[in-house]
Structure 1
């Protein structure tokens, strides 16, 4: 056998593997609809109920990625800075909520003491 025939066989085998392998995988892999139909009815119902929430979470994530990519810094640095700011804001909001709840509880306690006639204790 000549050297050219060996090269031709090698190229044919390479193309067969490079094209045929992914094509075979694509042919075997079920679609999302086929997988969904194999779920039991309870899982189908739960999946449909949570679909909108998952889509919204994904949209929020994509929007965050777009915001992070506007920065000159790498995305992970921009994300960590923004997340740190959000955590600080959430922490401050929780502290403010606690203060307002404590003030409301104190106000109610004074109202109850006044309505029972005890008056404030020193």
Structure 2
């Protein structure tokens, strides 16, 4: 039986130290380098900062509505993208129907105005 190879402790120490540096040092370096939200805002152009603050509430509401719709879509057995496509088609049909009704109402008002003015068709 051949003799057992000795354990290379130096190699294992290098591996453990290197792994620790990478797994702990990498996120620590990222945390140290990434600016906070306040630091980013302090670097903004004042005009951009004003526009950003004005639109913040609207963007937050849009995002909240989007997340709410996603939650509703996820309750279905179908994939989310299929449910979203069906919802878009339903919305498009409703918009077309509303536009058609609006055109009919406009035509009816025009005819009524012509009759009141004494003009025939």
TM-score (norm 1): 0.78
- Per-residue Cα deviation, 1:62-93 (whole angstroms, up to 9, x for no partner): 212222222334xxx23322432342233233
Gaps of 5+ in 2: 1-6
> 2: CA distance between counterparts of 1:68 and 1:89?
15
**How do 1:98-109 residues align onto structure 2 when only pairs under 5 Å count?**
98-109=100-111
* Corresponding residue number in structure 1 for 2:8: 3
* Corresponding residue number in structure 1 for 2:4: none
* Corresponding residue number in structure 1 for 2:83: 81
* Corresponding residue number in structure 2 for 1:111: 113
Query: How much has 1:11 moved relative to structure 2?
Result: 0.6
TM-score (norm 2): 0.78
> 2: CA distance between counterparts of 1:52 and 1:23?
33
Indicate how the Cα distance of structure 1 residues 113 and 68 shifts in structure 2: closer, same or farther if over 3 A, else same. Answer: closer
**Runs of 4 or more above 4 Å deviation:** none
Gaps of 5+ in 1: none
State the aligned residue count: 115
Q: Assess if the C-alpha contact under 8 Å between 2:73 and 2:80 holds in 1.
A: yes
CA-based RMSD of the aligned residues comes to: 2.2
> 2: CA distance between counterparts of 1:57 and 1:95?
25
